[in-house]
Structure 1
Amino acid sequence: MTGIASLKDLFTRNLRQSGIYIAFVAIIVLFTVLTGGTLLGPTNITNLVLQYSYILILAIGMVIIIIGGHIDLSVGSVVALTGAVAAVVVIREGMPWWVGVLAAVGTGLLVGAWQGFWVAYVGIPAFIVTLAGMLLFRGLTLQVLNNISLSPFPSEYSRIASGFFNGLLGGAGYDVFTLVIFGIGILGFAYNSWRNRRARISYNQAVEAAPFFVLRLVVIAAVVMWFAWQLATSRGLPLVLIILGVLVLAYTMVTKHSVFGRHVYAIGGNLAAAQLSGVRVKRVNFWMFVNMGFLSAVAGIVFSARSSAAQPGAGNALELDAIAACFIGGAAVTGGIGTVTGAMVGGLIMAVMSNGMSLMGIDQSVQQVVKGIVLLLAVAFDVWNKKRASATR
């Protein structure tokens, strides 16, 4: 018999994931009050998207690595290396901007294949391989740049991180195109949610009552369209947000509906069982790191385009932000658990905290302390939640 979940069940069925969203809302409200509303102003929201997009891109790849039971400490150095390669090709050699993009992506894929080989086929733990990679690729960055910064990139390259779609469909004081794109996204999300609900009902699984389902969609639509309005009344739709949105949608599909995604969860959840089930563990591990190299290259392109320069110290400690985003967003330390959406929420929590504290004029050292405490509490909650689940079995 099909079950209809009560309001209590709706919030307790997945306590960890619900807690993430509640914490996200609470943090937004807190810093909105503390900054006198500046946090949610149109200009600041646009700046949030531009400033933290590359961390969210890294978090997409990192959550897949963590779900598979690994870790990658080298992504900050790979961001620097790929940006440096792009700078040498475009600025020093005078090649077209898109050649620099291709060179950066190719470098990221090679880096991912290098690390994937050592992890998957040699059997060295990912922690050691990527720790060595962090040093190796930072050193290569210094060599590629000859220990100096290269700038500026041509405007076409810089537009990747700072370009906007504005005025394509007109609008008096706001951009209609931005609202249309977000509206289409909401319709797609609502249709997908409806299909998932029908599928759960067909398999006699418990679902939320229809009024709760409709209410959830209305609330999400309202929040998203409010966000779209803020962008539309500022500078329009950032190009980098489109890139991020495409990546989120693509990797959500990969992790939820592809054989590769199921194998990643299987390896992280129970390696022995995955091997006995015929999962090609070495191949999956290899492609996880190739994918991380690709996304690190994308982040490196966005990072260098935003600063319009390649610097030897670029990307320093970005791996820590990406890892923190995943764990705050619900990924389990032991692997097998996590979602792309959760990693995005975790990254946004870090972004809102950093931006809010910066608006308040809080010292950078204090910001690091706060981030560390939040990460520790998130992992502690993961441990507590597992113990709680075990105790109720």
Structure 2
Amino acid sequence: MSGTTSTAPTSAPPTPRTGSANPLVAIRNNLRESGIYIAFVVVVLLFAVLTDGVSLSPGNITNIVSQYSYILVLAIGMLIVIVAGHIDLSVGSVVALTGAVSAQLVIGNGQPWWVGVLAALGVGLVIGVWQGFWVAFIGIPAFIVTLAGMLLFRGLTQYVLNNVSLSPFPEQYTTIATGYLNGLFGGYGYDAFTLFIGAFAVVGFVATQLRTRLAKIRYQQVVEAMPLFILKLVLVGLVVMAFAWQLAHSRGLPIVLIILGVLILVYSVVMRSTVFGRQVYAIGGNLSAALLSGVNVRWVNFWIFVNMGFLAAVAGVIFSSRSNTAQPGAGNSFELDAIAAAFIGGAAVTGGVGKVQGAIIGGLLVGVISNGMQLLGVNQSLQSVIKGLVLLLAVAFDVYNKRRGGVR
């Protein structure tokens, strides 16, 4: 027996893996995740210069929030659908139908405003159950089911409205999309509450990003290069606080922005930290492996479409509230804007990849481009061309990354 004692080797703390020792290569390898944030800041600054600062005026920023809020709500649900490997072409028609049902109850039958909201949400859930049943349990591809839904729900909208518009909604209803919170912390010449919420959002974003980065390092996963990671945090923080500063000097914090913020927070947690979220990524990433792992694919797909119906109803309430009317043609092409937001924000065409924050930034990017071109007086047809090219380039970038990584 030897007198020497053996010492168990101590494990060194995990070191970050950025994919390459070359900073330029590391940055290139991480552009898929961080590029959208940089692109957003560049586009915002570009239009600020081209419009002599008008695009960053308090009134215009408030207008962007109000004008594109319902698209961002749809983008959250569409992101989940796309991550699971599906697509939903019916959301624009669902927006129209839920707004029509709400209008008939509130305007046509004199019901309280909240009855219209609850009815719209209920109709959205029923639609989600209907489409989820055909996709999950009958096995019809989501493309076909939602294409049929697009026609079906558009026809029902025309039937509910009898092919005429209904307006106006009561003030309480329109406040959902056009109301503001102002002066909660006292008068300072600006709304301090809005600045507080902006700072809170930045702190939450930084904490979430740090937690995600540490978790990836702990499990030896590839993370962004530290300079790029810090740059992303700084850029997002500056943009959010500049955004909050402008809102604080306008009419304060839009109520619809609070609704959107809650949805972003909830769905970010759901997709990142719950069993359901991990199962959605598993189904989209590798369906066979998900089945072998015991994932109940049918029920997950079912709830994905129930959720999409609910969020489409939320968007329908916001849109009808903002426009103060329900129209048979409401929601046209909304599904295309939501799909574009998800793909531009980093969702993969083949599924399994994408984040809620990315879809929101993608939607805001489209909104800023559209708003900037409107301020510059760009022809409407040319605006569609430019937005189409932006979507095409985003998907091409996704395909390029997969081929570079050896995925065919």
2:375 corresponds to which of 352, 359, 369:
359
Larger Rg: 2
Q: Which amino acid aligns with 1:322?
A: A
Partner of 1:303: 319
1:209 and 1:373 map into 2 onto residues whose CA distance is: 29
Partner of 2:345: 329
Q: Which amino acid aligns with 1:124?
A: I
Partner of 1:294: 310
1:241 corresponds to which of 231, 249, 257:
257
2:91 and 2:222 map into 1 onto residues whose CA distance is: 40
- After superposition, give the CA deviation of every residue in 1:169-221 in whole Å (9 maximum; x if it has no partner): 12332101111122222233333334344444544556668777666544433
2:346 and 2:83 map into 1 onto residues whose CA distance is: 10
Counting only pairs closer than 5 Å after superposition, residues 333-348 of structure 1 correspond to structure 2 as: 333-348=349-364
Judging changes above 3 Å, is the alpha-carbon distance between structure 1 residues 235 and 308 closer, same or farther for their aligned structure 2 residues?
A: same
2:315 and 2:28 map into 1 onto residues whose CA distance is: 36
- After superposition, give the CA deviation of every residue in 1:238-297 in whole Å (9 maximum; x if it has no partner): 000000010011111111111111111111111111111111011001000000000000
Give me the identity figure in percent.
67
1:256 corresponds to which of 267, 272, 276:
272
- The yes-or-no answer on 1:164 pairing with 2:180 is yes
- Deviates further, 119-128 or 178-187: 178-187
- The yes-or-no answer on 1:319 pairing with 2:335 is yes
2:219 and 2:376 map into 1 onto residues whose CA distance is: 51
- Deviates further, 30-39 or 345-354: 30-39
1:311 and 1:29 map into 2 onto residues whose CA distance is: 36
- Deviates further, 97-106 or 184-193: 184-193
Judging changes above 3 Å, is the alpha-carbon distance between structure 1 residues 24 and 83 closer, same or farther for their aligned structure 2 residues?
A: same
1:365 deviates by 1.1
- The yes-or-no answer on 1:74 pairing with 2:90 is yes
2:197 corresponds to which of 173, 178, 181:
181
Q: Which amino acid aligns with 1:51?
A: Q
Counting only pairs closer than 5 Å after superposition, residues 89-104 of structure 1 correspond to structure 2 as: 89-104=105-120
- The yes-or-no answer on 1:53 pairing with 2:55 is no
Judging changes above 3 Å, is the alpha-carbon distance between structure 1 residues 390 and 106 closer, same or farther for their aligned structure 2 residues?
A: same
- For the aligned residue pairs, the C-alpha RMSD in angstroms reads 1.9
- Deviates further, 24-33 or 152-161: 24-33
Partner of 1:2: 15
Q: Equivalent residue of 2:190, what SS?
A: coil
Judging changes above 3 Å, is the alpha-carbon distance between structure 1 residues 254 and 143 closer, same or farther for their aligned structure 2 residues?
A: same
1:133 and 1:285 map into 2 onto residues whose CA distance is: 17
1:347 and 1:216 map into 2 onto residues whose CA distance is: 18
Consecutive unaligned residues in structure 2, runs of 5 or more:
1-13
Q: Which amino acid aligns with 2:168?
A: P
Partner of 2:11: none
CA contact (8 A) 1:97 1:156 kept: yes
CA contact (8 A) 1:175 1:233 kept: yes
Q: Which amino acid aligns with 2:15?
A: T
2:44 and 2:226 map into 1 onto residues whose CA distance is: 28
- The yes-or-no answer on 1:224 pairing with 2:240 is yes
Q: Which amino acid aligns with 1:256?
A: R
Judging changes above 3 Å, is the alpha-carbon distance between structure 1 residues 294 and 206 closer, same or farther for their aligned structure 2 residues?
A: closer
1:108 deviates by 0.2
Consecutive unaligned residues in structure 1, runs of 5 or more:
none
Q: Equivalent residue of 2:350, what SS?
A: coil
1:377 deviates by 1.2
2:342 and 2:232 map into 1 onto residues whose CA distance is: 24
Q: Which amino acid aligns with 1:287?
A: W
Judging changes above 3 Å, is the alpha-carbon distance between structure 1 residues 241 and 288 closer, same or farther for their aligned structure 2 residues?
A: same
How many aligned positions are there? 392
Judging changes above 3 Å, is the alpha-carbon distance between structure 1 residues 59 and 211 closer, same or farther for their aligned structure 2 residues?
A: closer
1:369 deviates by 1.0
Partner of 1:134: 150
1:216 and 1:139 map into 2 onto residues whose CA distance is: 45
2:223 and 2:346 map into 1 onto residues whose CA distance is: 22
CA contact (8 A) 2:38 2:232 kept: no
2:358 and 2:203 map into 1 onto residues whose CA distance is: 21
1:378 deviates by 1.1
CA contact (8 A) 1:2 1:206 kept: no
1:108 and 1:58 map into 2 onto residues whose CA distance is: 12
CA contact (8 A) 1:2 1:205 kept: no
